[in-house]
Structure 1
């Protein structure tokens, strides 16, 4: 399940993707526009900065910008940075695999096999979607609301 940290991080990234490249956005603007507690958002943006997704600049004209074009950022990568592996259980994880202590035959474990299927489905969706596509979904929804479509 996506945590609040992951959800807020995605919202912040979609917000930044809505601004022209290089145009800095203040954390207070992102927080207010997306109903995210500012202090929590500061922490999230710090993690995203450390992972190379955003740049930050202090002082006048400062704020946050995307470090790469939105079409080069995969949603799955953001989620993994903020929430960790996509797999529901560790024995189904590609990046944080750990065998279960109580498993006799991992290759025939029905729980693991279904969780692998779930992990692969989640990964397929999140790793194929870009931040630009998420932003386009938000823009299309905004247009529908404006024009009552």
Structure 2
């Protein structure tokens, strides 16, 4: 399940994608327009900056801006950065696999097989949807409602 942090991160990224490319957007603007607590948003944007999705500019006229064009940023990458693996159980994860403690034989585990299919379906959608495409689904103003 997408956490509130993940949802807020996506909303902030959609907002940045709707801004003029290369033009910083103040954190307060994002927080107010997307109804995200500013303090929480500060931490999310810091994570996204550290992961290379956004740049920050300090001082007058400062704010956050996308580090590369929205068409080059995939939603799956953003979600993984903020919320971790897409797989519902660790043994179905491609990036952070971990064997389940209670599994007798994961090669025949029905739960694992179904969860691997679920993870693959989710990956297929999120890894093939760019931030630009997501923004176009939100409409021209960049306001995204879930």
Band the TM-score falls in, shorter-chain normalisation: over 0.9
CA-CA distance at 1:103 after TM superposition: 1.0
Q: Quote the residue 1:79 is aligned against.
A: 79
Distance 2:21 2:105 in 1: 51
Structure 1: give runs of 5+ residues left out of the alignment: 143-149
What's the Cα RMSD here? 1.2
Cα deviation, 1:15-73, whole Å, max 9, x if unaligned, reads 00001111110000000000000000000000000000000011011000000000000
Q: Once the 2 structures are TM-superposed, how far is the Cα of residue 102 of structure 1 from its aligned partner? A: 1.4
Residue 107 of structure 1, CA deviation: 1.1
Distance in 2, matches of 1:20 and 1:29, equals 14
* TM-score when normalising by structure 2: 0.95
Whole-angstrom distance in 1 between the partners of 2:114 and 2:83: 21
- How does 1:1-149 map onto structure 2 within 5 Å? 1-139=1-139
More helix by share: 1
Structure 2: which 5+ runs fail to align? none
Look up the SS of the partner of 1:65 in the other structure.
strand
Work out the CA distance in 1 between the residues paired with 2:44 and 2:86: 18
| Separation of aligned partners in 2, 1:5 and 1:87 | 17
Q: Deviations over 1:82-137 (max 9, x none)?
A: 00000000000001100111111111100000100110000000000000001101
Q: Distance in 1 between matches of 2:141 and 2:71?
A: 19
Pair 120,130 (structure 1): closer, same or farther in 2 beyond 3 Å = same
SS of aligned partner of 2:107 = helix
Runs (4+) of structure 1 exceeding 2 A deviation are none
Q: What is the aligned residue count? A: 142
User: Structure 1 residues 29 and 129 mapped into 2: Cα distance closer, same or farther (>3 Å)?
Assistant: same
**Bigger Rg, which one:** 1
